[in-house]
Amino acid sequence: MRNAISIDVGGTTIKTGIVSEDGSVLHPGQVPTPTNPDALITRCAQIINDYDRLISEGVVEGPNGPIHPSEVIKTVGFDVPGIVDESRGLAVFSANLGWKNFPAQEALSDTAGRPVAFGHDVRTGALAESVWGVSLDNFYYIAIGTGIATVLVLNGEPVVASDWAGELGQVPVPGWDGKPIALEQVASAAGISRRAASLGLVDENDGAAEVFELVDSGSTQAGEIVDRAIGLLAEKVAPVIASVGSIPIVIGGGLANRGEDLFERLATKLDSALGIVPGPDVIGAKLGSNSQLKGAGLRALRAE
């Protein structure tokens, strides 16, 4: 079975592992993310060298014992957050990582001395879900966590017309005071908890889970926050479904942990927003926090 070294760069943490053709992750790990682009590339190259050493020493265990270096392809999977131009290998913009038009793919390939399969983190996660998770060819993937990012997957492939594809969270909506703000400032997990904290319903360090707990206990204010957040999300998602047809919506990211209650709420809002257009099924992603790491490995396996 072939395997690929995979690196998933997040705003604070780099997740690493060796992804096998069956979707399993061998010898997973994580390290803090450097904020300097050059330091980040150096760290990722070191991760690759470390895995090469561990594999040659027989430390990395597969299902049938230690994997052999011949079972690991040369191409490395590598995904990053932010605005990404995969066709040119560019990290166009990332506020968290402090880069702009950074040639991330070329930089890692030159430093590590091997081919790199490069991608956007949420798009690679959706790709992995298509193959190893929800196992669907056509769906609309919505990652809801600190922000909101989306991926339209058709015939098993993310549809990407430009580097800004999937930035639904940046679309303006009426804020809590009626002034326009980005959708993710209202409807993301962070947006929900931030609004609740501003009203004194939860502590500043609490998350959306605590807000939903208040909803469960009957809090009217918490219920209004959640209802408005999901309603605005449905309003922006509805035109996508009306345009491409009633394909399933797959919810990933931290807010997906709410489970069926969230999915049912969104499905109900979508039914209302879509009118006579049939509403989609709303389901949860299956791969959890490893989807992006697995997707990066999958890109590498497909590239070689």
pLDDT of residue 95: 77
Domains, the chain, in order of start with CATH, read: 3-131+289-303 (3.30.420.40), 135-285 (3.30.420.40)
What is residue 204's predicted lDDT score, i.e. its pLDDT? 94
pLDDT of residue 255: 94
Q: Whose CA is closest to 123, among 298, 295, 304?
A: 295
Closest C-alpha among 213, 218, 236, 55 to residue 144: 236
Structural contact between residues 83 and 69, judged by C-beta atoms closer than 8 angstroms: no
Contact 276, 100 (CB under 8 A): no
Q: Distance (Å, rounded) from C-alpha 20 to C-alpha 13?
A: 22
In terms of Cβ atoms closer than 10 Å to its own Cβ (0-12, 13-18, 19+), residue 22 is: exposed
Tens-binned pLDDT, residue by residue, of the chain (304 aa) = 999 999 999 988 999 999 999 999 999 999 999 988 999 999 999 999 999 999 999 999 999 999 999 999 999 999 999 999 999 999 999 877 888 999 999 999 999 999 999 999 999 999 999 999 999 999 999 999 999 999 999 999 999 999 999 999 999 999 999 999 999 999 999 999 999 999 999 999 999 999 999 999 999 999 999 999 999 999 999 999 999 999 999 999 999 999 999 999 999 999 999 999 999 999 999 999 999 999 999 999 999 9
| pLDDT value for 35 | 84
Please tell me the pTM assigned to this model: 0.94
Q: What per-residue confidence (pLDDT) applies to 97?
A: 83
